[in-house]
């Protein structure tokens, strides 16, 4: 009996591992995620979670969005999941700027805001060319202070109309003195632009299109702040790419229908962190910066990794 129990325990451990990871290129993938790493559920019972962002202050905590619940949530190791802001104007993506201020993409108010150190919420941008934004979805911050914002129509309130005739990726420079010139169109030919992130050297911008293409494109970032050479980097066959992040080595981690897929800088699929629910977004954080947090439908998950997020310089 004892032998059987040991065998069963060993089998359970193996199947747990097998269920948590799908491996493409084992050598490269296991430099990023250990073979025995396990996905842990940190909280559940929410409606549709998105926009995770690790904040180092106050002992370290995760902010993330529950979009339909109109709330920003807070997770700490000690306190679990609590509500941090309500209402959130159905906030989706969140990210810190270089000064550590929270940048939030608000769906129902159709704007991008900054939460200042004193707690005040400042509207950074809510229109382009005299028309309301669609419903800002996600944001990337570049070291020159510019914000790169995706604007698909997913979150336009039912009693409101789309005013812009495109689903743009915008470049927004908060420092531009003439506010009418602060926002420019960086990419105009997306179906549903969604997650986006820079390579560690900021020479590349990755943009997920969760509409018909279901792919991630990569663009060269030119010195003048414009983009060129857009080409398909990876196409998903399960679900669509939503939130994406680059790690410190330049690998691209993308949410997908089956979890978080990891691609080498040349687009090779290295492996997938499998989640029980389809993943919408992800970020790295935790005390050592190596915990991958995953927002997936009703739940928040985490898995230890061996890398960190590419940081704004």
Q: Among the candidate windows 41-49, 107-115, 138-146, 295-303, which touches Mg ion by CB under 5 A?
A: 138-146
**Binder among 89, 137, 146, 168 for Mg ion (CB under 5 A):** 137
To Mg ion, the closest distance from the beta carbon of 152 in angstroms equals: 8
To Mg ion, the closest distance from the beta carbon of 281 in angstroms equals: 6
Q: Among the candidate windows 141-149, 194-202, 222-230, 302-310, which touches Mg ion by CB under 5 A?
A: 194-202
Report how far residue 287's alpha carbon sits from residue 168's, in angstroms, rounded to the nearest whole number.
35
- Please confirm whether the linkage preceding 296 is cis (ω < 30° from 0): no
Reported as half-sphere exposure (CB side, CA atoms, 13 A), residue 69 has a value of 19
DSSP 125: E
Q: How far is CA 291 from CA 141, 168, 284, in A?
A: 21, 31, 5
Residue 91 engages Mg ion in binding (rule: CB under 5 A): no
Residue 275 engages Mg ion in binding (rule: CB under 5 A): no
Report how far residue 192's alpha carbon sits from residue 188's, in angstroms, rounded to the nearest whole number.
10
**Total residues in contact with Mg ion, by rule CB under 5 A:** 4
Q: Among the candidate windows 62-70, 123-131, 139-147, 238-246, which touches Mg ion by CB under 5 A?
A: 238-246
- The residue among 203, 266, 244, 300 whose CA lies nearest residue 95 is 244
**Binder among 71, 151, 209, 242 for Mg ion (CB under 5 A):** 242
* Residues near 215 by beta carbon (within 8 Å), at least 6 away in sequence: 208, 209, 232, 233, 234, 235, 236, 241
| Residue corresponding to tokens 């995620």 | 33
To Mg ion, the closest distance from the beta carbon of 35 in angstroms equals: 30
Find the helix or strand (DSSP H, E) in which 15 lies: helix 2-20
| Residue corresponding to tokens 């919420």 | 121
Beta-strand pair 91-96/21-23 = unpaired
Residue 138 engages Mg ion in binding (rule: CB under 5 A): yes
To Mg ion, the closest distance from the beta carbon of 246 in angstroms equals: 16
User: Which residue, 138 or 258, is less far from Mg ion as judged by CB?
Assistant: 138
52 burial class (0-12, 13-18, 19+ CB within 10 angstroms)?
buried
Q: Among the candidate windows 96-104, 166-174, 192-200, 285-293, which touches Mg ion by CB under 5 A?
A: 192-200
Site string (144-183) toward Mg ion, x via CB under 5 A: ----------------------------------------
Q: Among the candidate windows 10-18, 193-201, 244-252, 304-312, which touches Mg ion by CB under 5 A?
A: 193-201
User: Which residue, 28 or 166, is less far from Mg ion as judged by CB?
Assistant: 166
Q: Among the candidate windows 70-78, 79-87, 234-242, 286-294, which touches Mg ion by CB under 5 A?
A: 234-242
Indicate left, alpha or beta for 223 from its phi (over 0: left) and psi (-120 to 50: alpha). Answer: alpha
Helical H segments across 156-228, by residue range: none
To Mg ion, the closest distance from the beta carbon of 93 in angstroms equals: 6
- The residue among 75, 10, 92, 5 whose CA lies nearest residue 40 is 75
User: Which residue, 135 or 137, is less far from Mg ion as judged by CB?
Assistant: 137
To Mg ion, the closest distance from the beta carbon of 10 in angstroms equals: 40
Site string (47-86) toward Mg ion, x via CB under 5 A: ----------------------------------------
To Mg ion, the closest distance from the beta carbon of 268 in angstroms equals: 24
Task: Name the site residues for Mg ion (rule: CB under 5 A).
Answer: 137-138, 194, 242
């Amino acid at each position: 009996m004892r032998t059987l129990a040991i065998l069963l325990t060993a089998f359970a451990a193996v199947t747990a591992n097998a269920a948590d990871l799908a491996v493409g290129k084992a050598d490269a993938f296991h430099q990023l995620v250990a073979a025995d790493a396990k996905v842990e559920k940190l909280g559940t019972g929410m409606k549709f979670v998105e926009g995770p962002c690790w904040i180092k202050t106050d002992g370290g905590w995760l902010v993330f969005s529950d979009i339909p619940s109109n709330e920003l949530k807070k997770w700490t190791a000690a306190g679990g999941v609590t509500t941090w802001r309500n209402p959130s104007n159905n906030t989706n993506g969140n990210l810190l700027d270089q000064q550590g201020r929270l940048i939030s993409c608000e769906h129902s108010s159709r704007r991008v805001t900054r939460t200042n150190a004193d707690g005040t919420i400042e509207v950074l941008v809510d229109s382009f060319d005299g028309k309301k934004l669609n419903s800002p979805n996600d944001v990337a911050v570049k070291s020159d202070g510019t914000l790169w914002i995706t604007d698909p129509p997913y979150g336009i309130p039912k009693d409101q109309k789309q005013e812009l005739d495109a689903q743009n990726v915008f470049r927004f420079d908060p420092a531009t003195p003439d506010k009418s010139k602060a926002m420019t169109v960086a990419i105009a030919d997306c179906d549903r632009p969604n997650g986006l992130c820079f390579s560690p050297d900021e020479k590349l911008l990755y943009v997920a299109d969760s509409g018909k293409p279901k792919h991630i494109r990569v663009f060269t970032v030119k010195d003048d702040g414009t983009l060129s050479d857009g080409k398909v980097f990876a196409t998903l066959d399960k679900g669509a790419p939503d939130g994406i992040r680059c790690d410190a080595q330049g690998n691209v981690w993308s949410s997908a229908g089956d979890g978080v897929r990891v691609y080498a800088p040349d687009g090779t699929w290295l492996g997938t962190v499998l989640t029980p629910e389809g993943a919408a977004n992800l970020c790295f954080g935790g005390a050592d910066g190596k915990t991958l947090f995953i927002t997936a439908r009703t739940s928040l998950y985490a898995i230890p990794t061996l890398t960190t997020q590419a940081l704004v310089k």
